Amino acid sequence: MKESEVPTDVTTDSVRVFVAATPAEWLPMKVLEFSICESTRLSVQLSAIYTHQRPIPVPRDAVNKARTPFSFQRFLIPELCERNGKAIYMDADMQVFHDIAALWNRPFGEAVLQTVGSAAGARRSQFSVMLMDCSRLGWNVDDIVCQLDKGEINYQELMYDMKLASPISYSIPETWNSLECFIPGETCLLHYTDMNTQPWVSLDNPNEVLWVSCLRRALDAGFITLADLEREIGQGHVRPSLLSQISAVSTETWKPTLSDILRDAQFLPPFYSIAASRWGALRVFRSRLLRAGRLILRPLMRQKARP
């Protein structure tokens, strides 16, 4: 059976999807939600974990602190589900192309958590797509941070080995976490994992049209409004050129105007605020200058590349 086909024992309860995000990821998260809904007949309940306003303690040792504002959010899911039933965890920077039923209705067997064993045949599991048995996962984020503080577990074991979940099944196909690679008819979930080229902040993503086309369908369906898009641009969450791109006759043939390029060059993607704490001010400033330079010089470079 192909991964996109629905198993014969499909359940009819709502698919519970929890997404790690901050308010800055509102638009990509809504596009993710729309992409799930347009590909399935099942009822879907998607929830941004931050909206539950459950405080997460901060580890004392800097080496164990969350790398992003949403790194530890996933550990809240069993609690948010009242330790009942199952749930899917996803990152906000994703787009789904196949029926979520194929993921939702996977049998657990002995496992309490299912995930993708590797990504694109190279990177190890990122635990960025998980099917979770909330009735058997005894996570409590306060206890988890306490274990980090006591040295009973470290950040790598927690986040990269998911040591506090056992047993884990790495049986979900790689097509459900395809990193920056889309193969028509095969890719079930595309993960825009490289923050500096995500299509809502950059024009440099090779799969940009896939995401922008989905945004346009969501706008046409009223799932997202033009006012929503304008608000997200105004708040500096997404690139300004998105507005003219989705207004174009064809997203495939659209080219940014000089005004689009200059406004995008002044736009500071939200991920820079995350990177600043790790990179330092000088490296962030250098990265911003290089990014602005590439945006401004891109049209000239494309003209030179033409025969």
Q: What is the SS3 string spanning 87-103?
A: EEEEECCEEECCCCHHH
Through-space distance between the first and last CA atoms of the chain, rounded to whole angstroms: 47
User: What's the pLDDT tens digit per position in 138-197?
Assistant: 999 999 999 999 999 999 999 999 999 999 999 999 999 999 999 999 999 999 999 889
The yes-or-no verdict on residue 12 having pLDDT over 60 is no
Q: Are 172 and 209 within one domain?
A: no
Q: Are residues 38 and 139 in the same domain?
A: yes
Say what the pTM is: 0.87
Amino acid at 109: G
- Lowest-pLDDT range, 7-21, 41-55, 230-244, 279-293? 279-293
End-of-domain residue from the set 179, 210, 230:
179
Same domain, 24 and 172: yes
Characterise 173 by phi-psi region: left (phi > 0), alpha (psi -120 to 50), beta (else). Answer: beta
Domain final residue, candidates 179, 211, 246: 179
Same domain, 172 and 198: no
Same-domain pairing of 27 and 172: yes
Residue 116 CB neighbour total at 10 angstroms: 26
The residue among 28 and 272 whose pLDDT is bigger is: 28
The answer on 158 and 69 residing in a single domain is yes
Q: What is the pLDDT of residue 11?
A: 42
Residue 148 CA to residue 164 CA, distance in Å, equals 12
Q: Residue 280 is part of which domain span?
A: 194-305
Provide the CATH number for the domain around residue 169: 3.90.550.10
Residue 73 inside a domain? The answer is yes
Query: Between these two residues, 293 and 230, which has the higher pLDDT value?
Result: 230
Is residue 158 domain-shared with residue 201, that is, in the same domain?
A: no
Is the residue at 85 inside a domain? yes
> What pLDDT, on the 0 to 100 scale, is given for residue 286?
63
10 is a domain residue: no
Domain identity same for 214 and 173:
no
Structural contact between residues 240 and 200, judged by C-beta atoms closer than 8 angstroms: no
**Does residue 171 or residue 3 have the better pLDDT?**
171
Whether 157 and 262 map to the same domain: the answer is no
pLDDT tens per residue across span 101-138: 999 999 999 999 999 986 555 555 679 999 999 999 99
Q: How many domains does the chain have?
A: 2
| pLDDT band (50, 70, 90) for residue 262 | confident
Q: Tell me: do 54 and 147 sit in the same domain.
A: yes
Look at residue 187 and tell me if it is in a domain: no
Reading phi first (left if > 0) and then psi (alpha if -120 to 50, else beta), residue 99 is in beta
Tokens of 63: 């080496």
Closest CA to 57 of 36, 78, 43, 71: 71
Q: Which has the higher per-residue pLDDT, 256 or 218?
A: 218
Tell me the two tokens of residue 161: 């080995």
